[in-house]
Amino acid sequence: MLDRAMRLERLLRVGIVHLAYGVMILTTVYVVVPIVGWWQAVGDGRPLLMQRGLHRAAAVFRRLVTGLGVIDLSFVGAERLTAPGPLLAVANHPTHLDATLMVSLVPQLDHIADAKWAGHPILGGAIEAGGHLFNDDPRRVIEEGARRLAAGRRLVVFPEGTRSPVGALHPFHRGAARIALAAGCDLLPIVIRCDPPFGKKDQPWYEVPHETPRMSYTVGMPISLRDVTDASDSQGIAARKITRVLEEYFRRELGYPPPSGRRDIVTAA
């Protein structure tokens, strides 16, 4: 009986968090966006202003999530996310809260969203208002991502393209590598862990774990393009090398074995 009561209590807290998340998105789309549109002329200033607003809302949301004990959250090396200059972050994607909790740390963070959300009346509007990129046109994403980095902005890429399966990673796409090559920018790896799994793809919100999930963000040292590629490499070969190094870095840090038949070419630090 006690176990059932505790589970119901946890379910209530998770429900409150999801309700708060929905309210945050609706407020963004139907209140903040019109106000920002009236306040700020069209241009880069409008999405940057929106991102600062979303950062404050996400910080409040983070305090709610941790205050209610829905997740036990920790950050290691988070100060690297706020370093001056351009920043190209690469992260795995275990939960649906990954981007929101990351946004809570920094006032400006561009990200690349799945094109399937472009037509969503609520989430699509919030993504577009924040000036984020949809992955429907790879060439445009690479060019625009490089342009934003050249302007000193921060961009995060989830190279799996979708949320990770339990205890594994999807194969990495080469978008992050191609943006890094176009911008001449190093990559900052962010390893996200969540144990037990929570907020997985296709997992109903009411499927809550029996214990509080421990979620951590570990921001590693930058991965230099000079250490991964050779001057003689073509863009295609360089992108494959960078992507392979990134994928193996995350597999090693998360303790996942490499795919069958593939050797790990990255030595341990």
One-letter-per-residue 3-state SS of 214-225: EEEEEECCCECH
Domain assignment of residue 102, given as a range? 2-254
Number of compact structural domains in the chain: 1
- Within-domain flag for 245: yes
Distances (CA, A) of 215 to 68, 93, 252, 255: 14, 12, 18, 16
pLDDT band at 2; cut points 50, 70, 90: very low
Residue 189: cis peptide before it, omega within 30 degrees of 0:
no
pLDDT band at 260; cut points 50, 70, 90: low
Residue 73's nearest CA partner among 193, 190, 200, 219 is 193
Q: What 3-state class would DSSP assign to 205?
A: coil
Q: Are 190 and 90 in contact (CB under 8 A)?
A: yes
For the segment 200-224, the average pLDDT, to the nearest whole number, is 89
For the segment 206-230, the average pLDDT, to the nearest whole number, is 92
Overall pTM > 0.85: yes
* pLDDT value of position 35: 73
- Within-domain flag for 261: no
**Nearest-angstrom CA–CA distance, 145 and 175:** 10
* pLDDT value of position 265: 39
**Nearest-angstrom CA–CA distance, 94 and 208:** 15
- Within-domain flag for 266: no
241-252 in b/e form (b: 16+ CB < 10 A) is bbbbbbbbbbbb
Report pLDDT digits (tens) over 79-129: 999 888 899 999 999 999 999 999 999 999 999 988 887 777 777 777 877
Residue 101's nearest CA partner among 162, 46, 21 is 21
**Nearest-angstrom CA–CA distance, 239 and 261:** 21
pLDDT surpassing 60 at residue 257: yes
- Say which amino acid occupies 142: I
- Within-domain flag for 87: yes
**Tokens of residue 209, six digits:** 């774990």
Residue 32's nearest CA partner among 10, 12, 51, 60 is 51
Report pLDDT digits (tens) over 188-207: 999 999 999 988 887 887 78
Residue 238's nearest CA partner among 223, 224, 228 is 228
What are the φ and ψ backbone dihedral angles of 253, each rounded to 5 degrees? -65, -35
- Within-domain flag for 202: yes
**Nearest-angstrom CA–CA distance, 40 and 81:** 26
pLDDT surpassing 90 at residue 140: yes
What are the φ and ψ backbone dihedral angles of 218, each rounded to 5 degrees? -115, 110
- Within-domain flag for 68: yes
- Within-domain flag for 128: yes
- Within-domain flag for 124: yes
The enclosing domain of 190 has a CATH number of: 3.40.1130
**Nearest-angstrom CA–CA distance, 172 and 246:** 8
Q: Are 111 and 157 in contact (CB under 8 A)?
A: yes
Burial of 219 from C-beta contacts in 10 A (0-12 / 13-18 / 19+): buried
Pick the more confident residue, 49 or 262: 49
Residue 106's nearest CA partner among 129, 82, 127, 88 is 82
pLDDT surpassing 80 at residue 36: no
